[in-house]
Structure 1
Amino acid sequence: MIKNKLHLYAGAACILIALGACKSIDIPQKEENKNVPESYGTDTANDSINTAKLTWDHFFTDPNLQSLIQTALQNNQELNITLQEVEISKNEIRAKKGEYLPSLGVKAGVGMDKVSRYTNIGAMEATTDIKPGKEMPDPLFDMGVGAYANWETDIWGKLHNAKRAQVQRYLGTIEGRNFMVTNIIGEIADAYYELLALDNELQIVQDNIKIQSDALNVVKLLKQSARSNELAVKRFEAQVLKTKSMQYDIQQEIVEAENRINFLVGRYPQHVERSKDSFDNLVPQAVYAGLPSDLLENRPDIKSAEYELAATKLDIKSAKARFYPSVGISAGIGYQAFDPGYLVNPKSLLYNLVGDLVAPVLNRNAIKAAYYNANAKQIQAVYHYEQSILNAYIEVANQLAKIKNLQGSYDLKSQEVDALVKSIGISNDLFKYARADYMEVLLTQRDALEAKFELVETKVNQLKTTVAVYKALGGGWDQQPLVNPDTKKDTNK
């Protein structure tokens, strides 16, 4: 009767302890704001067409540029490093899943025990017979073989939520990979257009050298006829030498631009095949921004921040579950004996089954700190998510405005170049007939060369801005699945 009451009191005490442990701190979570403006500005119209939906091989039509991008998606070291991060994150899911599944193992062991005869255990062994007329073996061996199992039931979802959080982070690493793909494509396109611009500048310099050399020959002839002087000859000669020296600066820039592409492609320095068409004939790709709300779906960095936010919310649930009691079950079965002959005897069979109820009652500071940290990280994730949306919107708005302004600038620069090119011929004619001095000719040639360079710079900025809009809208990553070059597996699986 008394024994039954003790069991009842013990059970009631366990229940009270468990209920006391269930008291947890509840902190409201911060909700994210997904609202974005309806357009990218007062002068931009809403359009359902979105350039980001185009795959990169449809957006970039130059076959040489397509080949470079395709090679980079296979060989770029930074991208392959990121692919390994995806593999690591996938393995973390497997590890988290294993924490809430039952574990089963087998074990076998052999031991020996020699105790003093003059201790209580030694005295009992001396008088204990396994069989009539035989003492307990001395030293005493202990051998066993069996299986064991452990399982935490996870009734509050602590381990399951930790695994779900890791799944969200795995999806975030995939979006991080997609974001890197977009950036690499953009970097290669920028460097490729820069290389084309440098080729064009080199051609401009070489054409200008011919114009200046012709002017120098004219000045020399005029000097012979006493219609000019040695000063004019030397000034024209110096101008020709200065322009010729510019070739080497541009050639060095071409080498560096080629090697920047080679680095992105993941290969050692070599010639970069590129379009032989006139740079002036390049037309920037038309872009359509779509709706600002499309950014939430198209931008990999926004989606990555969203997955991290979802993970932090699950982290809070997992941390909160630590306040509650945990129930664990362990079991074992096997054989144990001091002699191999008895090991398979039915009387050597042993087994156990244990259930544990563990609840934190006092000094829960570590659990509280983990819960507070989880809440703080969730708030951080909200701000980071909102910041990613704001940054994406501003990037698109800036680049759309830049496209418009660069077009206006390019139109005026083209007219300036046309005027200065015509003025070169006019100044040369005037100089021949002593209607203009040599300084006017030199200044006209210099201004024309600078204007041509500025026109090339404006054109390449137009091309780069088109690429920047494509990146800002979230284009480039939505292509065929990337395959890990080491495992030969699709990283999305």
Structure 2
Amino acid sequence: MEKSNTKWVIGGLLFLWACAPVLPKTPEVEPAPKTYGEWTNADTTNSGTISWRNFFTDKHLLSLIDTAMLYNPDLQIANQRVLMANAELLRSKAAMIPTLNANLSPAIRRYGLYTMDGAGNISTFIQPGKIVPINLPDIYVGLQSSWEADVWGKLRSRKKAATARWLASNEGRNWMTTQVVSNIALHYYELQALDNMLRIVDETIVLQENALNIVQVQKEAAAANQLAVEQFAAQLLNTKAIKTQLQQQVVDHETALQLLLGKFPGTVVRDTANYLTTAVPAMQTGVPAMLLQQRPDIRQATFLLEATKMDVQAARAAFLPGFNITAAFGYQAFQPNLLFRTPESMAYALAGSIVAPLLNRGALKAEFASANARQIEALYQYQQTVLTGVAEVYNEMKRLQNLEQLYQQRNEQATVLTTSIETASALFRSGRATYLELLINQQNALQARLEVIAAKKQQWQTSVNLYKALGGGW
């Protein structure tokens, strides 16, 4: 008979195992390309592996980034997310070990007289010469423990999922660090460019003021008319308006940069002396496969994908029977002075149970379907992150290549136009050039010099964007 019962138990467990859903197949992930478009680079050197302390050389910029590492609000939030993920990991680990609780339970109970317990107690002696009182005190002091045997790996899967999410939170913090570092550098180079633009505008204002003085003298000598004076005055006012706009842009970028530092608006210390002469650092991109190991957002997506896989494993294991063991040991008596009398007051219990879901399988199926959908979603998010990373590197490489040519062209144009200012001024003073020619020449020279700085700024900012796209800055 016992052998037959054992067969029924084993058969029931096998039936429940067969009823557990089959793990679904997930879509295939497209592998990273071998090259960035037409660039066939066999060199695996990647500038993204360089620390930001070595990538940037401006001491003022490095000081700003150091400050942001301590006080940037987004980084502080990311740190708290890491702590929360770590707490979840600790909780998942704790679920795998037995619980042990101390229990002190003072109580009083009264059984109805017209019950089996009441009728029996009314004539039962609890001590020699004393029957069980109607109001019976009950004091228990002891330890209680419970443990779920992780036969099907449900708890292990949950722990692996929590571990993957903790690792993902670390990568999320690294990705936030990369973005903060790059944004600080972008604002810093923008401020350097604005400072140089203001310097050029100030120089142009001096030239235009001199030209206005000359044409006013010529008007008094009847060599020029009022229209020429008004045209030069209008040009001067336009240049001063450009200066005002640039000054406001300086305020905007200083405020944005201070916010990244976790500070209130204020002036940002910076060096602008060698902005145009300092060479943009040479960038090495390596191969696209290196992004999978270097970019924090791709690494984060990888860990989140792993976490969702473990969620599916845990959801499937929830269909299977759970094996639980409970135990208790302590002392129990109706009077405190009898509580620790051994062995009379000793109390203990040991029980095992197998719990299998029957009527609530619909909820388990829904959770399994949800976990599977989250896994596929994480898979597509991972693939999208890889595609975005490769596209960003390709775009910034192409932009940096074109900006090198653009800067050279703008620089040559500005050199020609700046040299022609003196020529045009001399011709105007001698009457061999009209005031319109001088006005156009000054305006074109100003625009060309500003475009040189703008091209240089784009070079610096593109190198920063490429550095971030390669996974640098954390």
What range is the shorter-chain TM-score in?
over 0.9
Matching of residue 67 in structure 1 with residue 63 in structure 2: yes
Amino acid at match of 2:322: S
> Shift of residue 89 of structure 1?
0.6
Matching of residue 265 in structure 1 with residue 261 in structure 2: yes
Asked if the contact 1:17/1:359 (under 8 Å) is kept, the reply is no
Asked if the contact 2:160/2:307 (under 8 Å) is kept, the reply is yes
Deviations 1:381-432 (A, max 9, x none): 2211111111110000000000111111111111221222233223223322
1:363-402 paired onto structure 2 within 5 Å? 363-402=360-399
Aligned residue number for residue 22 of structure 1 = 17
Separation in structure 2 between the aligned mates of residue 341 and residue 159 of structure 1, nearest angstrom: 44
Separation in structure 2 between the aligned mates of residue 472 and residue 123 of structure 1, nearest angstrom: 82
1:77-476 paired onto structure 2 within 5 Å? 77-117=73-113, 121-345=117-341, 346-476=343-473
**3-state SS of the aligned residue for 1:336?**
strand
Amino acid at match of 1:193: Y
Asked if the contact 1:107/1:146 (under 8 Å) is kept, the reply is yes
CA 1:150 to 1:116, structure 2 compared with 1: closer, same or farther past 3 Å? closer
Q: CA RMSD in A?
A: 1.8
Mean Cα deviation higher: 328-337 or 149-158: 328-337
> Shift of residue 52 of structure 1?
1.2
Mean Cα deviation higher: 10-19 or 322-331: 10-19
Deviations 1:237-274 (A, max 9, x none): 22222222332222221122112111111122332111
> Shift of residue 196 of structure 1?
0.4
Deviations 1:41-100 (A, max 9, x none): 225543222111211111101111111111111111110110111011111111001111
Normalising by structure 2, report the TM-score.
Answer: 0.95
Matching of residue 13 in structure 1 with residue 2 in structure 2: no
Deviations 1:348-378 (A, max 9, x none): 2221111101122455212222222222222
Amino acid at match of 2:348: Y
Amino acid at match of 1:386: Q
Deviations 1:2-53 (A, max 9, x none): xxx3x55554433332221111221333255362222212255432221112
Mean Cα deviation higher: 260-269 or 145-154: 260-269
Asked if the contact 1:75/1:266 (under 8 Å) is kept, the reply is yes
CA 1:135 to 1:287, structure 2 compared with 1: closer, same or farther past 3 Å? same
**3-state SS of the aligned residue for 2:276?**
helix
Aligned residue number for residue 47 of structure 2 = 51
Asked if the contact 2:400/2:463 (under 8 Å) is kept, the reply is yes
Gap regions ≥5 residues in structure 1: 478-493
Asked if the contact 1:292/1:393 (under 8 Å) is kept, the reply is yes
Q: What is the number of equivalent residue pairs in this alignment?
A: 472
Aligned residue number for residue 489 of structure 1 = none
Mean Cα deviation higher: 208-217 or 312-321: 312-321
Asked if the contact 2:89/2:159 (under 8 Å) is kept, the reply is yes
> Shift of residue 115 of structure 1?
4.2
Asked if the contact 2:122/2:133 (under 8 Å) is kept, the reply is no
CA 1:115 to 1:25, structure 2 compared with 1: closer, same or farther past 3 Å? closer
Asked if the contact 2:196/2:272 (under 8 Å) is kept, the reply is no
Separation in structure 2 between the aligned mates of residue 170 and residue 475 of structure 1, nearest angstrom: 21
Separation in structure 2 between the aligned mates of residue 400 and residue 241 of structure 1, nearest angstrom: 40
**3-state SS of the aligned residue for 2:132?**
coil
Mean Cα deviation higher: 45-54 or 98-107: 45-54
Asked if the contact 2:17/2:320 (under 8 Å) is kept, the reply is yes
Separation in structure 2 between the aligned mates of residue 46 and residue 141 of structure 1, nearest angstrom: 84
Normalising by structure 1, report the TM-score.
Answer: 0.91
Gap regions ≥5 residues in structure 2: none
Separation in structure 1 between the aligned mates of residue 128 and residue 271 of structure 2, nearest angstrom: 102
Separation in structure 1 between the aligned mates of residue 5 and residue 370 of structure 2, nearest angstrom: 36
CA 1:232 to 1:16, structure 2 compared with 1: closer, same or farther past 3 Å? same
Identity %: 39
Amino acid at match of 1:17: G
Asked if the contact 1:21/1:360 (under 8 Å) is kept, the reply is no
Amino acid at match of 1:443: I
**3-state SS of the aligned residue for 1:130?**
strand
Amino acid at match of 1:438: Y
CA 1:114 to 1:356, structure 2 compared with 1: closer, same or farther past 3 Å? closer
Q: Flag as ranges the 4+ runs of structure 1 deviating above 6 A.
A: none
> Shift of residue 120 of structure 1?
5.1
> Shift of residue 199 of structure 1?
0.4
> Shift of residue 122 of structure 1?
3.8
Asked if the contact 2:64/2:184 (under 8 Å) is kept, the reply is yes
Aligned residue number for residue 488 of structure 1 = none
